[in-house]
Structure 1
């Protein structure tokens, strides 16, 4: 366990600045987009329930795609450029190396979605309170506390789903395949009619999340004997 945590720390040390900068840029874009649609499109987001629903969908979409970029950088690119062979020469098991990379993707996706949902909800509530008063009702501490369990669960499911593009990327060591599969996945999850969203259905979310975790498990399980070429 200590070796695995050390590997995660080393990977994070190499990529921490880029990850934080990328997450910040994604959140700023998402905030600007939500401000545009909430405060200029009358009737589309009239209640906090509507705002939360829309925000959670967009946050999930943007960070699942972000996770595919991270998968491409940490895993697919290293296989494609054959730099993974250098890592596999270190006196550390391949399984731990790959597990560290995939845990970073999972953990980053979970934390990014969870914090973004909470922080952006508060910012949108503050903007409405001080500048526009477009959203019906009042954003309260009780309301945010009631949202936390659902936000946390959604972040966990999304982090698992974000691992699914690994399957498509590893088939031919293709970065475009990884990114395109993430975009298609997000399109399917965001599809729906009215308030119905496929990705919001518990059965769909948990099933896809478990598939993502299983794909990650398969990526780790046979790596000691798998050809890296």
Structure 2
């Protein structure tokens, strides 16, 4: 979620802050499609990173199991992991809303750290709120709602300028 906030701040917030997005809006493509494309690109990159990191983790544990007798390898519930991954990516869009309020990259990244602290709160156990599929789905829906609100504000605010 923090890396996603960094990508959001580079691809979206910085362009609004420096007003370079106005050049992009001069092209005969709708603003909604341009912003949506940026967000889909960010989400796709994050999904790829999630999948690659899971493959690396499983491969490392599998190899460690072959070398050490005290390490056990088992693949968890794939459906639950997929829901958690998609929900984490969608929740990672929430810092877009926070960052667009003041067009601040710092606010975007700090809000993502706060979100991670809340969503991954494990309180001493190995499972946080994001590991519960229902909570993960709710977090994902919250991320979608706030990113839609932020997109609407981005499109309407530029039309008035």
Q: TM-score, normalised by structure 2?
A: 0.88
Larger radius of gyration: 1
Secondary structure class of the residue paired with 1:178? helix
Whether the 8 Å contact between 2:83 and 2:137 is mirrored in structure 1 is no
Superposition map of 1:66-145 within 5 A: 66-130=3-67, 132-135=68-71, 137=72, 139=73, 143-144=74-75
1:187 and 2:117 matched: yes
Whether the 8 Å contact between 1:164 and 1:212 is mirrored in structure 2 is yes
Q: Distance in 2 between the 1:95 and 1:222 partners?
A: 11
Q: Distance in 1 between the 2:153 and 2:106 partners?
A: 24
**How far did residue 196 of structure 1 move?**
4.2
Gaps of 5+ in 1: 1-63
Q: Distance in 2 between the 1:176 and 1:114 partners?
A: 27
Q: Distance in 1 between the 2:156 and 2:128 partners?
A: 41
Gaps of 5+ in 2: none
- Which residue does the alignment assign to 1:156? 86
- Which residue does the alignment assign to 1:204? 135
1:85-114 superposed Cα distances (whole Å, 9 cap, x missing partner) = 000011111000000011112222222112
Higher relative contact order (CA 8 A, sep 6+): 2
Q: Distance in 1 between the 2:9 and 2:154 partners?
A: 17
Q: Distance in 2 between the 1:149 and 1:202 partners?
A: 9
Task: Number of aligned residue pairs: give it.
Answer: 159
Q: TM-score, normalised by structure 1?
A: 0.63
- Which residue does the alignment assign to 2:147? 216
Q: Distance in 2 between the 1:66 and 1:105 partners?
A: 10
1:40-86 superposed Cα distances (whole Å, 9 cap, x missing partner) = xxxxxxxxxxxxxxxxxxxxxxxx11000000011000000100000
